[in-house]
Chains A and B, each alone.
Chain A
């Protein structure tokens, strides 16, 4: 055994916009262990349920993260609706599905851009974010917000989308698809990208499952966990197959996200074709009395909102388990055995969202 040295990685690092720290134990250039540290930006948002009533707390839930904001509000609302036995109108379920997939599109494009930037492909970064702007424009046009939408509420949604606008959105996505092919072609087929990602940070199928990996991190290792398959929102009425890869390396994680862009566009197209007419919300009275674990598929994977109410306007507990939080143990495992130079790309490959993880 060679001499071991410990090298700190983060919490400020050029490839990471958010603070996460790793103590990397090295033998020569090989990582033999990685100890993670978070907690630099913990906000204690869950504690606010004691001061905010459950209908207004949806705004707090939505502010857990600036990327997955919409899906946090959707999952929180669904949790309350399940406890209170509220039947959300069908049209609202389809609208929620459309906005969820728009969130996935903008998050994956953001990540592809950051990933390209991490490898030094500045023009690819620019093009990924340019395409993301179209998605954000549609989000803004239909909800009023680019980052925080504020469109979801307990009992439905606050805004409807006119049929003409839905057709326009679909036309825009179809037009963008051609450019997406050019973009994803770089990540899937460019020789230097493939060389950099193949075999880097391998997570085996069994490790991915028992370490708690979720989302693209799990699916890239051959674990077909996709919470959309449980049929929440309108997903139960949509045909789609989760993107699953088997090699478990950084290339597979990149490929899953790149291919999921097309799945999202297909889901939005099906929603637009099938969306029924009708109201988009129902009146909600009373307060939740009971508990429920609501789950949804965020761009980074399964998010869990647990709520416990006692019939009063303030909840007893709101607990959020985010995908990045549960992807930390798999990250520790897949870093073992890699080269020091590959660490930034491997860390980026799980798409860490520290804002979500720390709440």
Chain B
């Protein structure tokens, strides 16, 4: 199902930089990096595109995990990594441009790291 080919590959956290490097060697562009909170864990999706086919590398980490930056491979990754740091409180090490927690000026620290249940449920 789905009009687009979309593959999700869960990878061990330690293989991230190597696998991202391979994606660039294969001629993929970085579409986005996004985080999702699942229970106590955080899924981080690195999405790549080549000729309209999406490949999604996924790591699952705890909030206190220090995630290596992929901005040395894809320069533009710094916007996504700063976003993940500011909204989820996950430390990303080695970003080419590190805003030090001031990329988003949120009044609550790491606002997306907590789940707010629907009112009344």
Contacts and interface: CB of A to CB of B under 8 A. Distances in A.
Contact of B116 (A47, A330, A333): A47
A104 interface: no
B69 to A, nearest CB: 13
B111 A325 contact: no
Nearest to A321: B32
Interface string B92-112: 000001010011111000011
Given A304-B31, A319-B36, A47 B102 contact: no
A230 B79 contact: no
B24 interface: yes
A47 B76 contact: no
A319 B87 CA distance: 12
Contacts of A325: 79
A24 to B, nearest CB: 14
Interface residues of B, number: 41
B36 A50 contact: no
A293 B99 CA distance: 28
Contacts of A51: 116, 118-119
B46 interface: no
B76 A212 contact: yes
A83 B70 CA distance: 30
A37 interface: yes
Contact of A231 (B3, B47, B106): B3
Contacts of A210: 24, 29-30, 74-76
Interface string B49-87: 000101010000000000000000011101100000010
Contact of A292 (B2, B75, B103): B2
B77 to A, nearest CB: 8
A292 B7 CA distance: 10
Interface of chain A, main secondary structure = mixed
B68 to A, nearest CB: 18
B105 A85 contact: no
B48 to A, nearest CB: 10
Interface in B1-29: 1-4, 6, 8, 24, 29
A297 to B, nearest CB: 11
Contacts of B2: 82, 292
Given A40-B105, A42-B105, A50-B116, A211 B47 contact: no
B118 A50 contact: yes
Contacts of B38: 316
Given A44-B106, A293-B6, A329-B78, A304 B32 contact: yes
Given A210-B24, A292-B6, A304-B31, A47 B112 contact: yes
Given A40-B105, A316-B38, A293 B79 contact: no
A211 B75 contact: yes
A232 to B, nearest CB: 6
Contacts of B79: 325-326, 328-329
Interface string A313-340: 0101101010001101110010000000
A209 interface: yes
Contacts of A82: 1-3
Nearest to B108: A44
Interface string A36-49: 01111010101100
B3 A232 contact: yes
A284 interface: no
18 contacts: A37-B102, A39-B102, A42-B106, A46-B112, A47-B111, A50-B117, A51-B118, A82-B1, A212-B76, A227-B52, A230-B3, A293-B47, A304-B31, A314-B118, A319-B32, A319-B35, A321-B31, A329-B78
Closest 8 CB pairs of A and B: A329-B76, A321-B32, A39-B104, A317-B36, A212-B76, A319-B34, A42-B104, A211-B76
